[in-house]
């Protein structure tokens, strides 16, 4: 199989975990034990080592101009280092800030306005990138759409990891379909994160016949994305994405709330979720579940993105364009079509198998 030539917009904590993971699991093959967080070690011939970074874009002077292997460990990144990364010969290039840096975050991100940005679409073409990953901060609505435009211009598949609604917007999905370019989005679902745990618990309660009255999810963390989301104006799509993801699993009216709720600096990249579900049993007897989940936020989604990138490349190889509905439903919180987890997994497996059997 060919490489999955991958470009990254936003060299933050999530990009750090992704790049570390590509090195950590580079020798994993079909017959090895399944890697935690991956659907399969090999997807239709594509291995982890086939995912090759070829371009990266950021705005922070501490990262711009450095090799990607070094930039992922620069401040303000704070996720755990679990693997040394050899030089990748991929220079992080200056991108336009657009709306990626919120006003209250200017002291956290060091941007040199005198440094001109590169032509991102041209870089994507020159590096022959297959897939562009959007890792911009939450609230980067303009930036997400700007990078989606660059993907269309350069002929790249697009994996939208943030809650800017692009794959789930029929107009955007149609534009990618017309170009026969796949898009997977929106808002990445972690391996075992707050949203997936919340969804599975609500599914189980509904399937067992109990009646959910209300449920909420409160999240705090210490990385720059949680600090970024202190500004409530950047939170609208994130709360919509998380809340709709949970509500879609309850086939009747119930109070549902889910969203980021604060920045606690000492947590660094650790995320704490407090989750509660109130429901009624037989005879309307009340019951409740209270749960605390603690996870390192960025590694929790890295394997999911490795899968999403390989699926996007698989579709790109076959000229399958537009929003990949089963992949988006399985990997993302706000897909074009919400599905239950087993249904999304089964449909995605069928999508993969049709290409293996060619």
- CATH number, domain containing residue 312: 3.40.50.720
Gap between the Cα atoms of 89 and 192, Å rounded: 32
For the segment 319-339, what is each residue's pLDDT rounded down to a tens digit? 999 999 999 999 999 999 999
- Residue 76 reports pLDDT greater than 90: yes
Average pLDDT over residues 73-80: 97
What gap in Å lies between CA 46 and CA 138, rounded to an integer? Answer: 30
CATH of the domain at 253: 3.30.360.10
- 295/273 Cα distance (integer angstroms): 9
The answer to whether residues 46 and 94 belong to one domain is: yes
Same domain, 19 and 139: yes
**For 183-187, 213-217, 226-230, which range has the lowest pLDDT when averaged over its residues?**
226-230
* 58 contacts 134 by C-beta, under 8 angstroms: no
Same-domain status, 179 and 209: no
Residues 142, 104 share a domain:
yes
pLDDT value of position 1: 58
- Average pLDDT value for the chain: 96
Strand partners, 12: none
The confidence score (pLDDT) of residue 33 equals 87
CA angle at residue 136 from 111 to 328, to 5 degrees? 170
Contact 158, 135 (CB under 8 A): no
Q: What is the pLDDT of residue 13?
A: 98
Domain termination residue (choose one: 274, 295, 316):
295
Q: Is 262 exposed, middle or buried (0-12, 13-18, 19+ CB in 10 A)?
A: middle
Give yes or no: residues 28 and 159 share one domain. Answer: yes
Which pLDDT value is given to residue 20? 98
Helical (H) or strand (E) element with 275:
strand 270-280
Per-residue pLDDT tens for 242-259?
Answer: 999 999 999 999 999 998
Query: Which of 61-70's residues contact partners 24+ apart within 8 Å by CB, and which partners?
Result: 61/110, 61/111, 61/112, 61/115, 62/110, 63/11, 63/92, 64/92, 64/93, 64/94, 64/112, 64/115, 65/91, 65/92, 65/94, 66/91, 66/92, 67/91, 67/92, 68/8, 68/11, 68/19, 68/92, 69/19
Out of 276, 295, 314, pick the residue that ends a domain: 295
Residues 244 and 282 in one domain: yes
pTM: 0.96
Q: Are residues 44 and 142 in the same domain?
A: yes
Single out the residue in 295, 319, 338 at which a domain terminates.
295
One domain for residues 51 and 91: yes
Q: Are 115 and 64 in contact (CB under 8 A)?
A: yes
Contact 318, 211 (CB under 8 A): no
Helix (H) or strand (E) holding 4: strand 4-9
- Name the strands in the sheet holding 211-221, side by side, starting at the edge strand that comes first in the sequence: 255-263, 211-221, 270-280, 286-296
Task: Provide the domain count of the chain.
Answer: 2
Q: Does 12 score more than 70 pLDDT?
A: yes
Same domain for 136 and 263, yes or no, is no
Query: Mean pLDDT across the stretch 135-164?
Result: 97
Together in a domain, 286 and 312: no
Cα separation, 331 vs 186, whole angstroms: 9
In 26-100, where does DSSP find H-type helix? 68-71
Q: Which residue, 89, 96, 95, is CA-closest to 66?
A: 89
124 and 226 part of one domain: no
Is the domain of 135 the same as that of 205?
no
316 lies in which domain range? 2-188+297-355
């Amino acid at each position: 199989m060919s490489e999955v030539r991958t470009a990254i917009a936003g060299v933050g904590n999530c990009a750090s975990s992704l790049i570390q993971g590509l090195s950590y699991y580079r020798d994993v093959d079909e017959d090895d034990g399944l890697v935690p967080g991956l659907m399969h070690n090999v997807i239709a011939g594509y291995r982890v080592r086939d995912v090759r970074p070829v371009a990266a874009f950021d705005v922070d002077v501490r990262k711009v101009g450095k090799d990607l292997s070094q930039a992922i460990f620069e401040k303000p990144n704070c996720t755990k280092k679990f693997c040394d990364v050899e030089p990748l010969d991929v220079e992080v290039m200056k991108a336009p800030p657009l709306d990626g840096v919120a006003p209250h975050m200017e002291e956290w991100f060091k941007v040199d306005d005198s440094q001109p940005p590169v032509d991102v679409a041209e870089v994507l073409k020159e590096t022959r990138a297959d897939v562009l990953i959007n890792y911009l901060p939450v609230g980067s609505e303009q930036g997400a759409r700007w990078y989606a435009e660059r993907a269309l211009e350069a002929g790249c598949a697009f994996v939208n990891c943030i809650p800017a609604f692009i794959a789930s917007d029929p107009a955007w999905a149609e534009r990618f379909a017309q170009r026969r370019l796949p898009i997977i989005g929106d808002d990445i679902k972690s391996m075992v994160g707050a949203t997936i745990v919340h969804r599975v618990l609500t599914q189980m309660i509904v399937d067992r016949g109990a009646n959910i009255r209300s449920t909420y999810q409160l999240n705090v963390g210490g990385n720059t994305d949680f600090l970024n989301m202190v500004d409530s104006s950047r939170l609208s799509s994130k709360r919509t994405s998380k809340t709709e993801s949970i509500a879609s699993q309850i086939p009747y009216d119930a109070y549902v709330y889910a969203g980021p709720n604060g920045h606690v600096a000492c947590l660094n990249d650790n995320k704490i979720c407090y989750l509660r579900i109130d429901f009624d049993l037989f005879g309307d007897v009340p019951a409740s579940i209270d749960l605390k989940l603690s996870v390192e936020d960025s590694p929790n989604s890295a394997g999911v993105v490795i899968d999403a990138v390989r699926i996007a490349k698989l579709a790109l190889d076959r000229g399958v364009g537009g929003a990949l509905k089963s992949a988006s439903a399985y990997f993302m919180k706000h897909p074009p079509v919400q599905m239950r987890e087993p249904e999304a997994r089964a449909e995605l497996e069928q999508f993969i198998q049709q290409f293996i059997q060619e």
